């Protein structure tokens, strides 16, 4: 790790300010919220579970569905009243919006909700302390340009005390972004292109988590099985090789990963499910639909038969594997016959768990124009 990384294993100061973080959306947003909290610790902010006690309220947002985005504006309306009362009492309240809504809407958030002091995207939150200092001068800050630098090189190292307080399970982001461009999805536009964290960086963070008492690590990525890196011998690695290597770390008892794309399930990753006792017998593998016509309209680039064949390959080496999936109903043009094809796929696969959602048109995606 380079000189930008700082150690934040410091005792809270008596005069420290407090930050309340509200997180919407996926597991990666949970991870991002923790890293932002750690980063703000260097600026004297300590986390609080009470919004009333906070000097800074940070809302980490999700843009996958319209309902999740609108929740943000409802909360900002409530914070407007709180901020007015704080001003009367002579006490500061800063309000920030982070995450995918921040990336998608930028300055529009401040126009709709003037209570917001700063807007910061998911690729630039390593700049949060500096953005906050600027916002405290009274200048509205919008930090949503995609970062050229690797944000993980600028974030503080994992804080031991805070990690201990979070329990024995932890998330670890290894991959971000998406190059698949499914027609219903905003992720390529809010999270950017697929980027894999370097192997050494991942191993260092995993070791620090273990040193803080973590027993179970879940590897995260928008397309986590698209992760790729280089081994010590210079060979090309995928997520399977990474899992084999992480399983060798003393102290790690369990490994998980999410979320995967069917097109990135390679032989080595399937073999890892067969060979690694530490890798939990669970796989979240979204398919979204069981109709080839709808899968093509979604730009999934696989057929229902190819997905089922993949499931059969995986279960051939790990029969007890529990599989979950995501499904979208009501995609533009979906007929009763298409829906029935999806139900047949569900019955064929025999999912342990299914997450089903009504289609939500997202601005800027091809699906919104169908």
d(C-alpha 161, C-alpha 110), whole Å: 35
d(C-alpha 177, C-alpha 363), whole Å: 18
Count CB neighbours of 295 within 10 A.
24
d(C-alpha 45, C-alpha 38), whole Å: 9
Domains 17-143 and 167-369 share a fold: no
Judge contact between 290 and 342, C-beta under 8 A.
yes
> pLDDT tens digit string along 133-169?
999 999 999 999 988 899 999 998 887 888 888 899 9
Domain boundaries, the chain: 17-143, 167-369
The CATH number for 17-143, chosen from 1.10.3470.10, 1.20.120.330, 3.40.50.2300, 3.60.15.10, is 3.40.50.2300
Confidence of residue 5 (pLDDT cuts 50, 70, 90): very low
Q: Give the alpha-carbon dihedral of 20, 26, 28, 30, to 10 degrees.
A: 20
Query: Looking at residue 369, what is its pLDDT?
Result: 85
Judge contact between 35 and 29, C-beta under 8 A.
no
Name the superfamily (CATH) of residues 167-369: tm_1862 like domain (3.80.30.20)
Query: Looking at residue 6, what is its pLDDT?
Result: 36
- State the sign of the Cα–Cα–Cα–Cα dihedral 177, 222, 62, 85: negative
Judge contact between 99 and 25, C-beta under 8 A.
yes
> pLDDT tens digit string along 89-117?
999 999 999 999 999 999 999 999 999 99
3-state secondary structure of 284: strand
Percent share of the chain, pLDDT over 90: 87
């Amino acid at each position: 790790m380079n000189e930008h990384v700082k150690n934040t294993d410091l005792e809270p100061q008596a005069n420290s300010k407090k930050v309340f973080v509200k997180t919407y959306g996926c597991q990666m947003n949970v991870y991002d919220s923790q890293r932002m909290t750690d980063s703000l610790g260097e600026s004297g902010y300590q986390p609080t579970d009470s919004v009333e006690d906070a000097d800074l309220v940070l809302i980490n947002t999700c843009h996958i569905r319209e309902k999740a985005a609108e929740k943000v504006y409802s909360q900002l309306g409530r914070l407007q009243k709180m901020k007015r009362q704080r001003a009367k009492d002579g006490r500061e309240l800063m309000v920030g919006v982070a995450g995918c809504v921040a990336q998608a809407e930028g300055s529009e958030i401040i126009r709709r909700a003037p209570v917001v002091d700063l807007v910061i995207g998911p690729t630039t939150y390593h700049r949060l302390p500096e953005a906050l200092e600027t916002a405290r001068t009274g200048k509205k800050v919008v930090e949503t340009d995609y970062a050229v630098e690797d944000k993980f090189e600028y974030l503080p190292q994992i804080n031991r005390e805070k990690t201990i307080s979070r329990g024995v399970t932890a998330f670890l982001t290894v991959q971000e972004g998406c190059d698949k461009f499914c027609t219903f999805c905003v992720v390529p536009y809010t999270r950017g292109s697929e980027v894999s964290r370097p192997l050494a960086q991942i191993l260092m963070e995993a070791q620090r988590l273990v040193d803080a008492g973590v027993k179970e690590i879940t590897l995260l990525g928008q397309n986590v099985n698209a992760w790729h890196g280089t081994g010590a011998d210079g060979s090309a690695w995928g997520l399977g090789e990474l899992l084999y290597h992480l399983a060798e770390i003393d102290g790690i008892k369990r490994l998980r990963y999410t979320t995967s794309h069917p097109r990135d399930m390679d032989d080595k990753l399937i073999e890892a499910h067969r060979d690694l006792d530490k890798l939990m017998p669970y796989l979240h593998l979204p398919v979204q639909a069981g109709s080839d016509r709808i899968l093509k309209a979604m730009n999934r680039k696989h057929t229902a038969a190819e997905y089922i064949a993949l499931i059969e390959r995986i279960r051939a080496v790990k029969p007890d594997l529990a599989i979950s999936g995501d499904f979208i109903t009501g995609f533009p043009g979906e007929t009763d016959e298409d829906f029935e094809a999806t139900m047949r796929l569900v019955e064929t696969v025999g999912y342990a768990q299914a997450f089903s959602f009504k289609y939500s048109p997202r601005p800027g995606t091809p699906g919104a124009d169908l």
